[in-house]
Amino acid sequence: MPKEGGFKRAVRARMNKTGESYSAARAAMEGRVGTTSDDAADDGYDPFMTLNQVAIDEDDLPMYEINGSVVDYRAAADYLVEQGLADPELFDED
């Protein structure tokens, strides 16, 4: 088995929990969220910080208020992509 087998399993477990793509889950676990490439410096930008977090769901994922409605993590991600605040590749299914 490859040396990274445990890490890959952890990434896939995060994918199942959050609905993120493999690349988004891996980037988050490697601390690369907000970067545009592997060589880019981490600028600390988190598009979810532009939203108002109002609750935590039963899976310990944040819920956000958008236009007067409370939405889950996946709906918030879709909204951020639609608004041009997040890279759609971070949330595409692999």
- What's the pLDDT score for residue 41? 42
Task: Note the pTM of the prediction, 2 decimals.
Answer: 0.51
Q: What is the pLDDT of residues 33-71, one digit of tens each?
A: 554 444 444 556 788 888 888 988 888 889 999 999 999
Residue 39: its pLDDT value, please?
A: 44
Mean pLDDT of 5-21: 79
pLDDT score at 16: 81
Distance CA 40, CA 43 (A): 8
Q: Tell me which of 1 and 17 has the higher pLDDT.
A: 17
